[in-house]
């Protein structure tokens, strides 16, 4: 390794340690690391800016604005009370309903948008039942990444893979969705063992929930109707943005602008709903990981992953699956997938059937996001929402639960892949 590679790795490792210890705010760590890379001339400013995924930041910013307006209608409180009443105030049933809702929405919206919608609902229900919302947030983070794996638009790596390999929305439903259904059923069983047996609500609180009328929580019926129509348009927009030739951030920003115009809500108030520290964290992290990509470190990792398999397609498939999952737990999966795409294309050019490798990369990179608190955008966003309401989820707290569950889900995906592609 040359000097620039050593420095980029060192800054990444120190940043990860600082984030894990949580002595310094992660946004400050990311920005400081990015500035150090520029000061030490590891890469020029223009190159660093080029590694920031403005599409992802645009989706985050647009949907944060969108949700800030939508919540003024009272729709989250309405849905929260409705779910709680359907579940008869049973916390475990509510948890399952929210997990299923999160997974399904994550498949057809992006998972960040989903957790922005689910987060306020969760807080409302947990306050009414006087129970800790952290277990709910933990299960929702995991469900969002699992659900997002199922479709072309559920997670950014799938969009990249679909574009490179020529796979359609239907292809992802055919190959990834069956694995996701099996995995989701298995993790719900795990959630019961981890949380379901231990959460309970006072009978008085449960009775109080049943006496509530969800319609009383609607603050603005006109805005509610606008919000429902806009959510449908957003779903359609995310599903068809490729065919329309538009980036997903354009859909998100357009939705935010349109709902602000139609509703007449104050943009100043909506901007207060934007998690600026989350946006700063991702901008800095993109630059830190981009430096490792620019200096060739990520390329070395990806190539080494392929080299150790000795050309055996089955071993290569499993190595891509587990390697992608573990690396994507700590690195952002977008630059990693961007590096793996040309390697798989090169293997196909050499006569190797890359079909199994593409789906292994998709499952591994998306499911790997559950390994750590920084493994996926949804993790960071929902943990910030939790912290905002006084319930902090620490890096190690999430790691102790998330990483073993991530390995469990990837093991199920491996069995599925071996059965689906017996020849590799």
For the cut 90, the answer to whether the pLDDT of residue 401 exceeds it is: yes
How many C-beta atoms lie closer than 10 Å to residue 101's C-beta? 19
What confidence tier does 106 reach under pLDDT thresholds 50, 70, 90? confident
Q: What is the pLDDT of residue 32?
A: 96
- Residue 389 has phi, psi (to 5 degrees) of -95, 15
What confidence tier does 254 reach under pLDDT thresholds 50, 70, 90? very high
Contact 275, 120 (CB under 8 A): no
Chain centre to alpha carbon of residue 248 = 15
Contacts of 106 (CB under 8 A, 6+ apart): 114, 143, 144, 145, 146, 147, 148, 154, 378
Chain centre to alpha carbon of residue 370 = 8
Torsion angle of C-alpha atoms 100, 102, 103, 107, degrees rounded to 10: 140
Q: Which residue has the higher pLDDT, 156 or 322?
A: 322
Measured CA to CA, the distance from residue 161 to residue 338 in angstroms comes to 9
For the cut 70, the answer to whether the pLDDT of residue 3 exceeds it is: yes
Q: What average pLDDT does this structure show over 72-93?
A: 87
Find, among 134, 170, 153, the residue nearest to 389 by Cα.
134
Q: What is the pLDDT of residue 274?
A: 87
Measured CA to CA, the distance from residue 372 to residue 390 in angstroms comes to 21
Span 306-355, pLDDT tens digits: 778 776 889 989 999 999 999 889 877 777 787 788 888 877 877 778 89
Measured CA to CA, the distance from residue 415 to residue 50 in angstroms comes to 38
8-state DSSP, 23: S
Q: What is the pLDDT of residue 135?
A: 95
Token pair in block for residue 141: 């983070």
For the cut 90, the answer to whether the pLDDT of residue 190 exceeds it is: yes
For the cut 70, the answer to whether the pLDDT of residue 122 exceeds it is: yes
Give Dmax (Cα) for the chain. Answer: 67
What confidence tier does 305 reach under pLDDT thresholds 50, 70, 90? low
Measured CA to CA, the distance from residue 134 to residue 248 in angstroms comes to 30
Span 355-371, pLDDT tens digits: 999 999 999 999 999 99
Q: What average pLDDT does this structure show over 375-382?
A: 86
- Residue 154 has phi, psi (to 5 degrees) of -70, -30
For the cut 80, the answer to whether the pLDDT of residue 302 exceeds it is: no
Measured CA to CA, the distance from residue 107 to residue 29 in angstroms comes to 31
Q: What is the pLDDT of residue 68?
A: 87
Range with the lowest mean pLDDT among 52-66, 229-243, 302-316?
302-316
For the cut 90, the answer to whether the pLDDT of residue 21 exceeds it is: no
Q: What average pLDDT does this structure show over 15-41?
A: 90
Contacts of 241 (CB under 8 A, 6+ apart): 153, 247, 248, 250, 251
Among residues of the chain, what percentage have pLDDT more than 90? 43
Find, among 335, 408, 343, the residue nearest to 370 by Cα.
408
Token pair in block for residue 187: 């993790």
Q: Which residue has the higher pLDDT, 214 or 188?
A: 188
Contact 114, 136 (CB under 8 A): no
Q: What is the pLDDT of residue 424?
A: 59
pTM of the model: 0.78
């Amino acid at each position: 390794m040359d000097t620039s590679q050593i420095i980029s790795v060192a800054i990444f490792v120190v940043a990860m340690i600082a984030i894990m210890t949580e002595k310094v705010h992660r946004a400050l760590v990311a920005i400081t690391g990015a500035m150090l890379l520029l000061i030490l001339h590891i890469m020029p400013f223009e190159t660093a800016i080029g590694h920031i995924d403005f599409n992802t930041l645009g989706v985050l910013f647009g949907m944060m604005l969108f949700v800030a307006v939508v919540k003024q209608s009272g729709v989250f409180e309405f849905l929260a009370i409705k779910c709680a009443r359907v579940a008869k105030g049973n916390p475990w049933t509510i948890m399952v309903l929210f997990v299923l809702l999160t997974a399904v929405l994550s498949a057809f919206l992006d998972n960040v948008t989903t957790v922005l919608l689910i987060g306020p609902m969760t807080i409302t229900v947990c306050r009414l039942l006087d129970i800790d919302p952290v277990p709910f947030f933990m299960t929702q983070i995991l469900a969002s990444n699992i659900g997002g794996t199922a479709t072309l638009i559920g997670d950014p790596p799938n969009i990249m893979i679909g574009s490179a390999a020529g796979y359609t929305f239907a292809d992802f439903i055919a190959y990834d969705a069956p694995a996701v259904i099996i995995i989701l059923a298995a993790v719900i069983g795990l959630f019961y063992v981890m949380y379901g047996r231990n959460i309970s609500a006072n009978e008085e609180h449960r009775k109080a929930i049943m006496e509530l009328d969800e319609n009383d929580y609607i603050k603005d019926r006109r805005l509610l109707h606008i919000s429902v129509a806009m959510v449908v348009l957003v779903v359609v927009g995310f599903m068809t943005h490729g065919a329309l030739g538009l980036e997903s951030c354009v859909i998100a920003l357009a939705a935010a602008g349109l709902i602000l115009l139609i509703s007449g809500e104050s943009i100043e108030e909506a901007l207060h709903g934007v998690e600026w520290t989350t946006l700063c964290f991702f901008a800095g992290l993109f630059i830190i990981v981009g430096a490792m990509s620019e200096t060739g470190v990520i390329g070395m990792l990806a190539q080494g992953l392929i080299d150790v398999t000795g050309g055996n397609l089955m071993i290569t498939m499993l190595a891509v699956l587990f390697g992608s999952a573990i690396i994507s737990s700590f690195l952002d999966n977008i630059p990693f997938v961007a590096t793996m795409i040309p390697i798989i294309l090169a293997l196909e050019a050499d006569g190797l059937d890359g079909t199994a490798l593409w789906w292994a990369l998709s499952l591994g990179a998306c499911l790997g996001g559950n390994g750590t608190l920084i493994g996926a955008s949804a993790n960071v966003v929902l943990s910030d929402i939790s912290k905002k309401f006084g319930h902090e989820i620490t890096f190690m707290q999430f790691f102790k639960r998330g990483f073993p569950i991530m390995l469990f889900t990837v093991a199920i995906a491996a069995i599925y892949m071996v059965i689906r592609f017996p020849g590799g």
